[in-house]
Amino acid sequence: MGQQKTVLLVDDEQIMHDLACAYLEREGFTLHSAYTGVSGLETIRDLKPDIVLLDYMLPRMDGEQVFSELRQNPEYKEVRDTPVILLTARGSDESLKTRLLKRGVVAYLQKPFGLRELSDVINNIITLRDIRHSHRLLEIEVKSTKQHLSSIFQNAPVGIFSCNSQGDLQQVNQYLLQLLPELSQNDQLINVLRDEFFHDSFFTKGVRFVLQHGRSWKKELIPWSGGQMKNLILNVHFVPIQVEEAGLENAKSVMGIIEDVTEWERKNFQLKLLSQVSAAMQQTMGLRKLLHLLLTAITAGPALSFTRAMIFLINDSGRELKGAMGVGPMSAEDALEIWNRLNRENLNMEQYIFNYGPRLPGENEQLNLSVLAVSIPLHEHTALTDTLRKKEHFWFKKEQARNEGYANYPQSLAPLHLEEFIAVPVVANDKLLGAIIADNKFSNQPIEDDRVHLLSLIASQAAHGIEKAHSYEQLREEKLKLEKALAELKRTQVRLIHTEKLAAIGEMAAHVAHEIRNPLVTIGGFARQLQKKNPDGQDANNPAKIIADEVLRLEKILENVLNFTKLPDPEPRNDNINQLIHHIVEQLQPEFENRNITVHLKLQENCPDQHFDQGQIKQVLLNLLKNSQQSFTQQGSIWISTQVENEIMRIRVEDNGPGIAHDMLTDIFNPFYTTKKHGTGLGLAISQRIIHGHGGEIRVNTKIGSGTRFDILLPLNFEPGNQEHNRSTLKAVIV
């Protein structure tokens, strides 16, 4: 013990003082002395000794009286509990001892006593007193700790509960009761394992898990809706604890912490949502998909959590906003149904929008249809349209006063049964593209400021997305057109190839037929001569007649073959040759550039329109230009000119290529004659037939080493099959 203990001896015998002093001081005590009861009491009061040795036999006031005084007199209140050891004489009354011990004297010693005995008793008493003192301190501490803990428990900014092995809730703090008021019914804590409301909820699952496995159970971001359709996001952590329960030793119990992270998560989601929406708007996607994503973002999850969202887009005239899409329930039952499903499926926003697929669960087509049927006339003077025209958002509150004669919104919106709602404009490049209208119909939650702000932000992202989608749609249309054109081109090409094949067969047949015709005419003609000179010439059995008839039959077959294989008759229309040439040159330009070929045009000014089959003449020109182009080994020039003279259009295609050898010149218009590796030998033959078909001519002039010139001569007034046409004019013209 650090501090010296003080002992007061109250005794009238000096010898006692001397002895005690000598011994106790040696033992480490400080001894004070008093010789009467009165001075003893005063000394106790003033010096506050740790222990008092009180002789019973004192003059005037005996030990019992002194003790009584000490315990009862308010003057000694402070020192009332000082332990007192009574010293008695041998043979004194036993009942006295008992009485005094009962009254609180801690011990008594019977004189004469050993000094060792005295110090043992003193030490014991002091130890006892110290123990009692610290016990009292401990009690106080325990009490205050308990209060402290209870206050922490009750006031913690997090929900805390404990329940026993049967699922009976033992303790639930204030916070948790506010969060989940259903935990208490009629001021009684419920049993979480048996409660209807919490059936199959995270609460029941968690408690059951911890009780079964004895391990902790932790879940984050659990969506939870209370009775008032208030959407909460909870983090929960349940752990097993060991608590002694009556009759059960170490029974399993559960305590858990439930944290409401709705606000935090909402802020988080708002940021995420914004970045997700903005990312989505950067992608190229169809307009419908984009709109659906937008509206889903506005209605699903805790970030905005509007019940309904609708989007309207400006029409072509710019005078109306046409309903484009709506997402949301049509009735309170619907809303609740979606609400409950959301909870059951434990979806967060991200999963909701990006994993759930194109169709919102419980999406009611009815709202969508209603929205599609609505258009907002922008020119109408209402609070809504005036605000949207200014490209500002419009927040209609139920309690807002209605001005007489100035409607809040156009009558056409009536089918949507709007109450309180927010409308934000969708603006890109200072142009109003549309508007988003959102409300909390059926949930009746108020619209909050920060959500309006977020909605505006999303609308501005949406604007860019919508603009992009528009261009995407246009591109797609263009692409479709191109694809169609390409398909048409391919079909034409196939047809052309087919035509070319037919033409090839035709050419061959025509060639053979013409070659056969002359000998046939000779044979038949002479047979007729023989027949005429023979008197039996008309006899059916006359060999000459037989020959003549058979030849005639062959000629007819030949004529049929020629008719069958000839090129289709030209279908002339009034067209302009110069235009056709421009068109062809433009078409071939990339190829010319590729081969370093320059094309010079020298076309007749004010070239009159004329009758010709554009497709056929185009084929001729293409043939000539391609021949020229293929004849060049390096760079070269091609000149194309047109000139009208004497009612004849002359188209000249001239090049400075290698030219054609003279001995080949007679053959170039013959079918199947070719100098090219992959040529069919039909290009010029067919060209010639086409020009002939137009009543024209094609001529060639060439000089080895300096070039080739083709002239196409076409009568301006071509009318097929009219032999008598303008014969005299022509005669005049040509001569």
Partner 1 sequence: MKPKILLVEDENSLRLLYKQVLSDDGYLVFDAENSIQAFDIIKMHHPDLAILDIRLSGEDGLDLMGRLLQMKVKIPVILHTAYSAWKDNFRGKMADAYIVKSSDMTELKDTVRKFLPLQSN
- To partner 1, the closest distance from the beta carbon of 517 in angstroms equals 4
From 206, 256, 695, 707, residue interacting with partner 1 (rule: CB under 8 A): 695
Give the binding range for partner 1 (CB under 8 A) out of 238-246, 325-333, 365-373, 712-720: 712-720
Give the binding range for partner 1 (CB under 8 A) out of 30-38, 289-297, 527-535, 628-636: 527-535
From 103, 514, 602, 676, residue interacting with partner 1 (rule: CB under 8 A): 514
> For residue 71, with 0-12 CB atoms within 10 Å meaning exposed, 13-18 middle and 19 or more buried, which class applies?
middle
Asked if residues 702 and 684 have their Cβ atoms less than 8 Å apart, the reply is no
Exposure letters 105-123 (e unless 16+ CB within 10 A, then b):
bbbbbebeeeeeebbebbb
- To partner 1, the closest distance from the beta carbon of 486 in angstroms equals 36
Distance CA 592, CA 628 (A): 11
Q: Judged by CB under 8 A, does residue 546 bind partner 1?
A: no
- To partner 1, the closest distance from the beta carbon of 580 in angstroms equals 20
Which residue, 213 or 532, is less far from partner 1 as judged by CB? 532
Which DSSP category does 183 fall into? G
Distance CA 435, CA 449 (A): 18
Give the binding range for partner 1 (CB under 8 A) out of 88-96, 277-285, 370-378, 693-701: 693-701
Give the binding range for partner 1 (CB under 8 A) out of 125-133, 382-390, 477-485, 713-721: 713-721
Looking at the chain, the number of H-run helices and the number of E-run strands are: 20, 25
Q: Judged by CB under 8 A, does residue 523 bind partner 1?
A: yes
Distance CA 316, CA 258 (A): 54
Q: Judged by CB under 8 A, does residue 731 bind partner 1?
A: yes
Distance CA 223, CA 344 (A): 9
- To partner 1, the closest distance from the beta carbon of 616 in angstroms equals 13
- To partner 1, the closest distance from the beta carbon of 541 in angstroms equals 20
Which residue, 84 or 577, is less far from partner 1 as judged by CB? 577
Q: Judged by CB under 8 A, does residue 698 bind partner 1?
A: no
Q: Judged by CB under 8 A, does residue 689 bind partner 1?
A: yes
Q: Where in 310-369 is the site for partner 1 (CB under 8 A)? A: none
Q: Where in 88-107 is the site for partner 1 (CB under 8 A)? A: none
Q: Judged by CB under 8 A, does residue 734 bind partner 1?
A: yes
Asked if residues 5 and 28 have their Cβ atoms less than 8 Å apart, the reply is yes
Which DSSP category does 7 fall into? E
3-state secondary structure of 675: coil
Which residue, 566 or 582, is less far from partner 1 as judged by CB? 566
Give the binding range for partner 1 (CB under 8 A) out of 294-302, 353-361, 655-663, 717-725: 717-725
Asked if residues 171 and 183 have their Cβ atoms less than 8 Å apart, the reply is no
Site residue total, partner 1 (CB under 8 A): 41
Q: Show the tokens assigned to 458.
A: 């999303």
From 519, 543, 608, 615, residue interacting with partner 1 (rule: CB under 8 A): 519
Distance of CA 379 to the CA centre of its chain: 35
From 446, 525, 608, 615, residue interacting with partner 1 (rule: CB under 8 A): 525
Q: Judged by CB under 8 A, does residue 712 bind partner 1?
A: no
3-state secondary structure of 640: strand
Q: Where in 647-666 is the site for partner 1 (CB under 8 A)? A: 648
Which residue, 306 or 718, is less far from partner 1 as judged by CB? 718
> What does R_g of the chain's alpha carbons equal in angstroms?
59
Q: Judged by CB under 8 A, does residue 572 bind partner 1?
A: no
* Among the listed residues 28, 101, 31, 42, the one whose alpha carbon sits nearest the alpha carbon of residue 70: 42
Distance CA 476, CA 26 (A): 112
Distance CA 22, CA 119 (A): 12
Give the binding range for partner 1 (CB under 8 A) out of 98-106, 215-223, 257-265, 525-533: 525-533
Q: How many CB atoms lie within 10 A of CB 575?
A: 15
From 520, 603, 607, 665, residue interacting with partner 1 (rule: CB under 8 A): 520
Q: Judged by CB under 8 A, does residue 723 bind partner 1?
A: yes
Q: Judged by CB under 8 A, does residue 551 bind partner 1?
A: yes
Q: Phi-psi bin for 651: left (phi > 0), alpha (psi -120 to 50), beta?
A: beta
- To partner 1, the closest distance from the beta carbon of 642 in angstroms equals 16
- To partner 1, the closest distance from the beta carbon of 719 in angstroms equals 9
* Among the listed residues 527, 574, 734, the one whose alpha carbon sits nearest the alpha carbon of residue 645: 734
Q: Judged by CB under 8 A, does residue 683 bind partner 1?
A: no
Q: Judged by CB under 8 A, does residue 517 bind partner 1?
A: yes
- To partner 1, the closest distance from the beta carbon of 596 in angstroms equals 38
Give the binding range for partner 1 (CB under 8 A) out of 46-54, 86-94, 151-159, 695-703: 695-703
Asked if residues 321 and 378 have their Cβ atoms less than 8 Å apart, the reply is yes
Distance CA 421, CA 244 (A): 56
- To partner 1, the closest distance from the beta carbon of 612 in angstroms equals 12
- To partner 1, the closest distance from the beta carbon of 548 in angstroms equals 7
3-state secondary structure of 348: coil
Alpha helices in 113-173 (DSSP H): 115-155
* Among the listed residues 23, 19, 86, 27, the one whose alpha carbon sits nearest the alpha carbon of residue 54: 86
Q: Judged by CB under 8 A, does residue 711 bind partner 1?
A: no
Which residue, 463 or 690, is less far from partner 1 as judged by CB? 690
Amino acid identity of residue 307, one-letter, is T
Q: Judged by CB under 8 A, does residue 562 bind partner 1?
A: yes
Amino acid identity of residue 577, one-letter, is I
Q: Judged by CB under 8 A, does residue 83 bind partner 1?
A: no
- β-strands 217-225, 597-602 pairing: unpaired
Q: Show the tokens assigned to 619.
A: 């084929």
Q: Judged by CB under 8 A, does residue 538 bind partner 1?
A: no
Q: Where in 622-651 is the site for partner 1 (CB under 8 A)? A: 648
- To partner 1, the closest distance from the beta carbon of 711 in angstroms equals 13
* Cα dihedral value 652, 657, 661, 664, nearest 10: -60
- To partner 1, the closest distance from the beta carbon of 528 in angstroms equals 7
30 contacts: CB under 8 Å, gap ≥ 6: 4, 5, 6, 7
- To partner 1, the closest distance from the beta carbon of 661 in angstroms equals 19
Which residue, 109 or 648, is less far from partner 1 as judged by CB? 648
- To partner 1, the closest distance from the beta carbon of 595 in angstroms equals 34
* Among the listed residues 168, 164, 169, the one whose alpha carbon sits nearest the alpha carbon of residue 244: 164
Q: How many CB atoms lie within 10 A of CB 263?
A: 11
Can the peptide bond before residue 112 be classed as cis, meaning omega within 30 degrees of 0?
yes
Which residue, 328 or 696, is less far from partner 1 as judged by CB? 696
- To partner 1, the closest distance from the beta carbon of 469 in angstroms equals 58
Which residue, 464 or 725, is less far from partner 1 as judged by CB? 725
- To partner 1, the closest distance from the beta carbon of 728 in angstroms equals 9
Asked if residues 443 and 342 have their Cβ atoms less than 8 Å apart, the reply is no
From 552, 561, 585, 644, residue interacting with partner 1 (rule: CB under 8 A): 552
From 597, 696, 708, 710, residue interacting with partner 1 (rule: CB under 8 A): 696
Sign (positive or negative) of CA dihedral 541, 546, 549, 553:
positive
Asked if residues 707 and 653 have their Cβ atoms less than 8 Å apart, the reply is no
Amino acid identity of residue 5, one-letter, is K
Distance spanning both ends of the chain, measured CA to CA: 155
From 373, 502, 521, 704, residue interacting with partner 1 (rule: CB under 8 A): 521
What is the chain's length? 735
From 166, 522, 587, 596, residue interacting with partner 1 (rule: CB under 8 A): 522
Crossing angle (nearest 10°) for helices 115-155 and 14-26: 60
List contacts with partner 1 (CB under 8 A): 514, 517-529, 532, 548, 551-552, 555, 562, 648, 689, 692-697, 713, 715, 718, 720-721, 723, 725-727, 730-731, 734-735
